[in-house]
Structure 1
Amino acid sequence: MAAVNVTWENFEDEVLKSDKPVVVDFWASWCGPCKMLSPVVDQVADEVPDVKVVKVNVDESEPVAIKYNVASIPCLVRFVDGQETGRSVGVIPKPQVEKFVKGE
């Protein structure tokens, strides 16, 4: 499943109320490391269909970034049943992204 763009308006429905685990990719268009990580996140989203992967542009949805204390990007945050269960900041290789998305 391809990563879905999420905003403040639909964050609760898409992430917090999701019936399966969700990984949120916090990013910005001006962020070089984000551009490096984004295609890896997209690949993993397609390869791990039992986890929902969404993206939040921190410039367009600043309230979400503030609420979840995202101070550095790229930042991956994993949610299960509406609760944060993990966080990864910075660029990581694909095998680590896969493990993070799967909750390993």
Structure 2
Amino acid sequence: MSEQSPHLVCSHCQATNRVPAEKLTAAPNCGKCSQPLLTGCPHELSAQTVHKVIQKNEVLTIVDFWASWCQPCLMMAPEFKAAAGQLPQVVFAKIQTDKYEQAAAPYNIRSLPTMVAFKNGKEIARQSGALPSDQIVQWVRSLRAS
């Protein structure tokens, strides 16, 4: 990764953008579709998008692996969204494991919900169990500091 201009995948059109680091805090837009790249809101991943978002994003990317039948997952969803709003320079995404089992399988998720932190296509940390937004923010900030 180039620390000066990391890659960021657009959640709208899936184009990979190179964004100068100093512009990450200035709400950059996609060069292809002109939509915001960092929205401060989690976006839903699909079987077609999960691997690209994880592999191509060079900024910290937090993926919530969840299922529609999982009560703790449903309870954590608004907390995850609130945390995303507090950390707009971090990519927050969700993948529904009961809908996209094959796409989630390579990540060896053993319990739900599980948040996995990726950077430069590599897993750097994981956290299982439902957390309130302040603990999610604290966990993500600890990853950014390391």
Q: Would you call these one fold, judging by a TM-score over 0.5?
A: yes
Give 1:57 shift. Answer: 0.1
- Paired residue for 1:42? 81
The answer for unaligned runs of 5 or more in structure 2 is 1-39
The answer for unaligned runs of 5 or more in structure 1 is none
More helix by percentage: 1
Distance 1:79 1:100 in 2: 13
- Paired residue for 1:71? 110
Alignment of 1:1-104 (within 5 A): 1-102=40-141, 103=143
**Greater than 4 Å deviation, 4+ residue runs:** none
Superposed CA RMSD in Å reads 1.3
Higher RCO (C-alpha 8 Å, min separation 6): 1
Distance 2:130 2:50 in 1: 23
Output the amino acid matched with 1:37.
Answer: M
Give 1:72 shift. Answer: 0.8
Contact 2:63–2:93 (Cα < 8 Å) also in 1: yes
Question: TM-score scaled to structure 1, two decimals?
Answer: 0.92
Percent identity reads 32
Higher Cα Rg: structure 1 or 2? 2
Question: TM-score scaled to structure 2, two decimals?
Answer: 0.67
- CA, structure 1 residues 43+33, in 2 after alignment: closer, same or farther (shift >3 Å)? same
